[in-house]
Amino acid sequence: MLSRVAENVYWLARYLERAEDTARLLSVNSHLLLDLPRPTQLGWSEIIAITGNDELFDEHYPTRDEASVLTFMCGDRRYTGSILSSLSAARENLRTTRDVIPREIWEEVNQMYLNVKEQVGSGITPRRRDAFLGRVIRSCQTVNGLIESTLSYTEVRSFLMLGRQLERADMTTRILDVRSANLLPRSPEDLTPFETLQWMSVLKSLSGYQMYRQHVRLRIRGPDVLQFLLQNQKFPRSVACALERLANALITLPRHEAALNEVETCRQDLANAEIAVLAAEPDRLHAFVDDIQVDFDELHEAIRQTYFAQPEDGAQTQSQTQTQTQTQSQSSSGASTPKHG
């Protein structure tokens, strides 16, 4: 399999998962806000903070009200993580890999992109918000279903799986971050009456409420939910489960040792998490999420180095170095290939 095609396929899966999980992130926030009492000083501002795009947002929007945040997160092309940008990037990556991916998948992604473009064009009002986010999530699930049922078990599927699972692990931790990012009152007494509601909405946004009840069989409690979403081996959207499936895809590929080591690091940091402390102290949870995201970046870097990097980046024999360097300077300015970041 060509490195360029592998890279495009990997990013296709990341962007699709990012679109879906961004929709889930917005969904958890709106449900959380609806359940909280009026005086609580909570809002949409934290969503922007979580994405790390305060500067970009403040440059273009005067206030962090619901309408602005929704517009930014759903349909602003200047923000590369918006739903529209993600789908557009997924579509571009798919366009150059149509020869390896079944045609129906292209058609579904293409149609979803065109629909989303049209809908954000006419504005995402709070009233239409849930329906819009729900449609995005469902369309992404349709694509995943098509992949599941029509794509052969080849390297193409392995790279799709790497992209999807890494993005999912990353986004699940970000969704947990909503819970931590100064979103909630500091004093435990303030928190208690609404804690259950809040953790429930986190679970529901990840379609995990029923599965949680089956696995945990206890009333909803912070530490249990956190443990479920971080360490449960069986729930598909938990971080541990995503890493497990990523590792399974990785071992089908050649030269997987370096990347597999990084997966191991992620898993160890995950296993060592002191769940009770993280659930009680939002700042600690936030710091933990930061750390594990650094692990994810290193895992991504290992995948990139092993499979996508041009050989002149150091992986090949010395005798070929000079020629390769010349080719590299050319390819880096190449016009037509992948979009990522």
How far apart are alpha carbons 217 and 231 in whole angstroms?
Answer: 16
* Choice from 99, 118, 148, 189 touching other proteins (CB under 8 A): 99
Least Å from the CB of residue 308 to other proteins: 8
Contact with other proteins (CB under 8 A) among 37, 188, 254, 341: 254
Q: How many CB atoms lie within 10 A of CB 193?
A: 9
**Whose Cβ is closer to other proteins: residue 67's or residue 309's?**
309
Mark residues 4-23: x for contact with other proteins by CB under 8 A, - for none.
x-x-----------------
Is the CB of 221 or the CB of 304 nearer to other proteins?
Answer: 304
Of residues 28 through 67, those in contact with other proteins by CB under 8 A are none
Taking CB under 8 A as the binding criterion, the range among 143-151, 172-180, 261-269, 300-308 that sits at the site for other proteins is: 300-308
Q: How far is the CB of 126 from other proteins (least distance, A)?
A: 33
DSSP string, 73-124: HHH-TTSTTSHHHHHHHHHHHHHTTTTTS-HHHHHHHHHHHHHHHHHHHT--
Q: Which helix (H) or strand (E) holds 258?
A: helix 257-271
Does residue 333 come out as left (phi exceeding 0), alpha (psi in the -120 to 50 range) or beta?
alpha
Q: Which of 95, 135, 221, 304 binds other proteins (CB under 8 A)?
A: 95
* Whole-number Å distance between alpha carbons of 256 and 63: 47
Q: Which stretch binds other proteins (CB under 8 A): 83-91, 132-140, 284-292, 315-323?
A: 315-323
Based on the shown chain and the rule CB under 8 A, indicate whether residue 98 belongs to the binding site for other proteins: yes
Residue type, 50: I
Is 305 a binding residue for other proteins by CB under 8 A? The answer is no
Tokens of 56: 């970009």
Contacts of 137 (CB under 8 A, 6+ apart): 20, 23, 24, 27
- In terms of CB distance, is 68 or 337 closer to other proteins? 337
For position 84 contacting other proteins by CB under 8 A, the verdict is: no
| 207 torsion bin: left (phi>0), alpha (psi -120 to 50), beta (else) | left
| Cβ 5 to other proteins shortest distance, Å | 8
Among 204, 298, 324, 339, which residue sits at the site for other proteins (rule: CB under 8 A)? 324
Query: Counting contacts by CB under 8 A, is residue 336 touching other proteins?
Result: yes
Cβ neighbours of residue 66 under 8 Å, at least 6 residues apart? Answer: 30, 43, 44, 126
Chain positions 159 to 178 lying near other proteins, rule: CB under 8 A, are 159
323 binds other proteins (CB under 8 A): yes
**CB count, 10 Å around CB of 225?**
26
Question: CB within 8 A of 285, min separation 6: which ones?
Answer: 176, 177, 179, 180, 226, 278, 279
Q: Which residues bind other proteins (CB under 8 A)?
A: 1-4, 6, 95-96, 98-99, 103, 106-107, 155, 159, 253-255, 306-308, 310-311, 315-316, 319-320, 322-324, 326-327, 330-331, 333-337
